[in-house]
A and B are shown apart, each in its own frame.
Chain A
Amino acid sequence: SQQGEEDPQALSIQEGENATMNCSYKTSINNLQWYRQNSGRGLVHLILIRSNEREKHSGRLRVTLDTSKKSSSLLITASRAADTASYFCATGDRGSTLGRLYFGRGTQLTVWP
């Protein structure tokens, strides 16, 4: 079964607007990662936030993590049409060195020019 759940399932915005996606998970984690998947292709790693971090930035991406609520959010600022993709959060089990990831069902983001 899948560990994380993204919300909303679909998001449609205009270029230049900000996009916020949320992720909730169930168990204790080592880290939480966000990946992007363009239609029918492999996943691209975007950002990793460790369980002892609360916020992380990378370019136009901002990720927050609240371990007490078992939730994370991904903010994409000044969105572009090229940001259109599915976004997945993925978690790894706390204490595990195996590295298997649990993915949610994803948020489908559409950015209109």
Chain B
Amino acid sequence: DTGVSQNPRHKITKRGQNVTFRCDPISEHNRLYWYRQTLGQGPEFLTYFQNEAQLEKSRLLSDRFSAERPKGSFSTLEIQRTEQGDSAMYLCASSPDFNEQYFGPGTRLTVT
């Protein structure tokens, strides 16, 4: 299966700790997106990469959040000094163009 993969699938952390998530997109896709989804809501856009360039960031992405996509392949999303409000599902998607996006299974973060 060469779909989008995300690791870890689940992460439980204590408030104040740093966490990092990884996304491996479909190999030929140059566009990569991060979304956040809380219970009962649809995904909300966080940030977008085209190849290695981060071209758009949502206002939801506070200074504690940083995302990278070195070499235009996999991407990481780091949250520093986690807060309980950061608890959510973090979804990664990739796309070959600006049409349909292919989503990974998500990383569920719980901050205690």
Contacts and interface: CB of A to CB of B under 8 A. Distances in A.
A65 to B, nearest CB: 15
B42 A48 contact: no
A109 to B, nearest CB: 15
A102 B58 CA distance: 12
A97 B44 contact: no
B108 A40 contact: yes
Interface of B: 4, 31, 33, 35, 40-45, 48, 55-56, 89, 91, 93, 95, 97-106, 108
Interface residues of A, number: 27
A43 interface: yes
Interface of A: 2, 4, 30-31, 33, 35, 40-45, 48, 88, 90, 92, 96-106
Given A2-B44, A102-B45, A106-B42, A45 B98 contact: no
A2 to B, nearest CB: 6
Given A40-B108, A48-B99, 20 more contacts: A2-B41, A2-B42, A4-B42, A30-B98, A31-B99, A33-B99, A33-B100, A42-B4, A42-B104, A42-B105, A45-B100, A45-B101, A90-B42, A98-B48, A100-B56, A102-B45, A103-B42, A103-B44, A105-B42, A106-B42
